[in-house]
Structure 1
Amino acid sequence: MKLNMYNVGNCIIGNSEVDIDDVHEILSLLIEKYGEDTMIEFIKNHENGQNLSDAFKNALSNKNMITKLKVKKIF
C-alpha cells in the first residue's frame, strides 16, 4: 500500500497504489491516517443513522481534526 498526497493551494493532489476492492487495506489506511478512536466514532455515528459523509465529518470535527474555511468577500 502506498499513498502520496500533496497540498497545492486549496487542492489535495495525490496518487495511490491501493487496491480499492480490498476493504481491509482501505480500513488500515484510514486507521493509520486518522486513528482508531476516530474510526470507531465514525462507525458509531453511522450506526446512529447519520449518512457516511456526515458521520465521518462529525467524527473528525469532534477530534478537532478539521477546521472551518475562512472565506473573505472581495468587492
Structure 2
Amino acid sequence: MMFPLARNALLSLKVQSIQQMIATQSHQKHSLDFHDKYGNAVLASRVTFCFVAWVFVITQLGLEWNLSPVRRVTPKEWREK
C-alpha cells in the first residue's frame, strides 16, 4: 500500500498532465475536413442539378397536364335509337 502523501502526489501529477493535454488540444486549430470545405458547394450543386432536371422534365418532354377541362371536353352528339 502506498503512503497517502505519495499517492496524492502521483494523483495530482496525473490530473495535471490530463489538464495540460486538454489545454493543448483546445488551443490547437481544428483542421477543416471535406464537409467543412466543400459541404455547402456540394449541397448547392445537387439542388441546382435537381432543379434543372425537373425544369427539363416539365418543359421538354411534352407532358399534357390537363389542369383544367374547360374547353377541352367536347360533348358527343346525342342520338336517339
TM-score (norm 1): 0.21
TM-score (norm 2): 0.20
More helix by share: 2
Higher relative contact order (CA 8 A, sep 6+): 1
More strand by share: 1
